[in-house]
Amino acid sequence: MGVSLLYRVSSGLLVLFALGHHFGFRRVDPRWGADAVVAAMRGTRFEVQGFSRTYWDFFTGFGLFVTVFLLFAAVLAWQLGGLPRDRLMLLPVLRWALAICSVGVAILSWQYFFIAPGVFSSAVAMCLVLAAWLGGKT
Protein backbone atom coordinates (compact mmCIF):
# COMPACT_ATOMS: atom_id res chain seq x y z
CA MET A 1 0.00 0.00 0.00
CA GLY A 2 1.43 3.40 -0.97
CA VAL A 3 1.89 6.36 1.33
CA SER A 4 -0.68 8.45 -0.53
CA LEU A 5 -3.31 5.74 -0.24
CA LEU A 6 -2.58 5.27 3.48
CA TYR A 7 -3.14 8.99 4.11
CA ARG A 8 -6.30 9.03 1.99
CA VAL A 9 -7.71 5.95 3.77
CA SER A 10 -6.89 7.60 7.10
CA SER A 11 -8.70 10.72 5.97
CA GLY A 12 -11.82 8.77 5.03
CA LEU A 13 -11.78 6.87 8.33
CA LEU A 14 -11.36 10.14 10.23
CA VAL A 15 -14.38 11.65 8.46
CA LEU A 16 -16.47 8.59 9.34
CA PHE A 17 -15.16 8.71 12.91
CA ALA A 18 -16.06 12.42 13.15
CA LEU A 19 -19.58 11.81 11.81
CA GLY A 20 -20.16 8.89 14.16
CA HIS A 21 -18.88 10.91 17.08
CA HIS A 22 -20.90 13.99 16.19
CA PHE A 23 -24.19 12.17 15.83
CA GLY A 24 -23.65 9.79 18.73
CA PHE A 25 -21.86 11.47 21.61
CA ARG A 26 -24.95 13.18 23.08
CA ARG A 27 -27.23 10.18 22.79
CA VAL A 28 -28.18 8.54 26.04
CA ASP A 29 -29.58 5.02 26.00
CA PRO A 30 -32.19 4.53 28.76
CA ARG A 31 -30.72 1.05 29.39
CA TRP A 32 -27.58 2.72 30.77
CA GLY A 33 -29.49 4.04 33.76
CA ALA A 34 -27.83 7.43 33.40
CA ASP A 35 -31.00 9.51 33.10
CA ALA A 36 -30.61 11.06 36.56
CA VAL A 37 -26.97 11.94 35.91
CA VAL A 38 -27.78 13.50 32.53
CA ALA A 39 -30.74 15.40 34.02
CA ALA A 40 -28.45 16.76 36.74
CA MET A 41 -25.83 17.73 34.13
CA ARG A 42 -28.48 19.55 32.10
CA GLY A 43 -30.29 21.11 35.04
CA THR A 44 -27.54 22.39 37.30
CA ARG A 45 -26.57 25.91 36.30
CA PHE A 46 -23.60 27.85 37.58
CA GLU A 47 -21.72 31.02 36.75
CA VAL A 48 -18.32 30.76 35.06
CA GLN A 49 -16.50 33.97 34.17
CA GLY A 50 -19.77 35.82 33.76
CA PHE A 51 -21.56 33.07 31.77
CA SER A 52 -24.33 30.80 32.99
CA ARG A 53 -23.43 27.22 32.05
CA THR A 54 -24.28 23.60 32.88
CA TYR A 55 -22.09 20.51 32.92
CA TRP A 56 -24.05 19.40 29.85
CA ASP A 57 -22.84 22.57 28.11
CA PHE A 58 -19.24 21.60 28.92
CA PHE A 59 -19.84 18.00 27.81
CA THR A 60 -21.36 19.22 24.54
CA GLY A 61 -18.64 21.79 23.94
CA PHE A 62 -15.81 19.34 24.49
CA GLY A 63 -17.57 16.75 22.32
CA LEU A 64 -17.89 19.26 19.51
CA PHE A 65 -14.18 20.14 19.93
CA VAL A 66 -13.40 16.48 19.31
CA THR A 67 -15.52 16.42 16.15
CA VAL A 68 -13.83 19.58 14.83
CA PHE A 69 -10.34 18.21 15.50
CA LEU A 70 -11.19 14.88 13.88
CA LEU A 71 -12.27 16.77 10.77
CA PHE A 72 -9.09 18.86 10.87
CA ALA A 73 -7.04 15.66 11.10
CA ALA A 74 -8.98 14.29 8.11
CA VAL A 75 -8.14 17.38 6.04
CA LEU A 76 -4.50 17.22 7.12
CA ALA A 77 -4.24 13.52 6.25
CA TRP A 78 -5.86 14.18 2.86
CA GLN A 79 -3.40 16.99 2.13
CA LEU A 80 -0.43 14.83 3.17
CA GLY A 81 -1.72 12.14 0.84
CA GLY A 82 -1.53 14.57 -2.06
CA LEU A 83 2.09 15.55 -1.54
CA PRO A 84 4.87 14.12 -3.67
CA ARG A 85 7.29 11.87 -1.78
CA ASP A 86 10.16 14.40 -1.86
CA ARG A 87 7.96 17.06 -0.19
CA LEU A 88 6.56 14.58 2.32
CA MET A 89 10.07 13.65 3.38
CA LEU A 90 10.64 17.30 4.37
CA LEU A 91 7.84 17.11 6.96
CA PRO A 92 8.94 14.47 9.50
CA VAL A 93 7.64 16.37 12.52
CA LEU A 94 4.23 16.84 10.96
CA ARG A 95 4.02 13.22 9.76
CA TRP A 96 5.02 11.79 13.14
CA ALA A 97 3.02 14.28 15.23
CA LEU A 98 -0.16 13.24 13.45
CA ALA A 99 0.72 9.56 13.77
CA ILE A 100 1.64 9.77 17.47
CA CYS A 101 -1.46 11.81 18.24
CA SER A 102 -3.59 9.15 16.56
CA VAL A 103 -1.91 6.44 18.65
CA GLY A 104 -2.77 8.47 21.76
CA VAL A 105 -6.39 8.74 20.63
CA ALA A 106 -6.51 4.98 20.05
CA ILE A 107 -5.15 4.26 23.53
CA LEU A 108 -7.63 6.65 25.13
CA SER A 109 -10.48 5.23 23.06
CA TRP A 110 -9.81 1.69 24.25
CA GLN A 111 -9.25 2.79 27.84
CA TYR A 112 -12.30 5.01 28.25
CA PHE A 113 -14.82 4.24 25.52
CA PHE A 114 -16.04 1.19 23.59
CA ILE A 115 -15.56 -0.88 20.45
CA ALA A 116 -16.52 1.57 17.67
CA PRO A 117 -14.14 4.40 18.63
CA GLY A 118 -11.51 1.82 19.55
CA VAL A 119 -11.64 0.17 16.14
CA PHE A 120 -11.79 3.44 14.17
CA SER A 121 -8.98 5.07 16.11
CA SER A 122 -6.81 1.96 15.90
CA ALA A 123 -7.29 1.68 12.14
CA VAL A 124 -6.45 5.37 11.72
CA ALA A 125 -3.39 5.02 13.96
CA MET A 126 -2.10 2.00 12.03
CA CYS A 127 -2.49 3.80 8.69
CA LEU A 128 -0.88 7.02 9.92
CA VAL A 129 2.06 5.31 11.64
CA LEU A 130 2.74 3.25 8.54
CA ALA A 131 2.37 6.33 6.31
CA ALA A 132 4.72 8.37 8.54
CA TRP A 133 7.30 5.61 8.42
CA LEU A 134 7.02 4.99 4.69
CA GLY A 135 6.86 8.73 3.97
CA GLY A 136 10.40 9.12 5.26
CA LYS A 137 11.88 6.37 3.13
CA THR A 138 13.68 7.19 -0.11
What pTM, to 2 d.p., does this model score? 0.94
How far apart are alpha carbons 132 and 88 in whole angstroms?
Answer: 9
pLDDT tens for each residue of 14-59: 999 999 999 999 999 999 999 999 999 999 999 999 999 999 999 9
For residues 134 and 3, give the distance between their C-alpha atoms in angstroms, rounded to a whole number: 6
Pairing type for strands 45-48 and 51-54 reads: antiparallel
Q: Which of 104, 138, 107 is nearest to 3 (CA)?
A: 138
Tell me what percent of the residues of the chain surpass a pLDDT of 90: 98
Q: What is the DSSP string of 21-75?
A: HHHHTT---GGG--HHHHHHHHH-EEEETTEEEEHHHHHHHHHHHHHHHHHHHHH
Please tell me whether residue 104 adopts helix, strand or coil conformation: helix
Share of the chain above pLDDT 70, in %: 100
Task: State the average pLDDT over residues 100-105.
Answer: 98
Q: Where are the domains of the chain?
A: 3-134
Cβ neighbours of 50 (radius 10 Å): 5
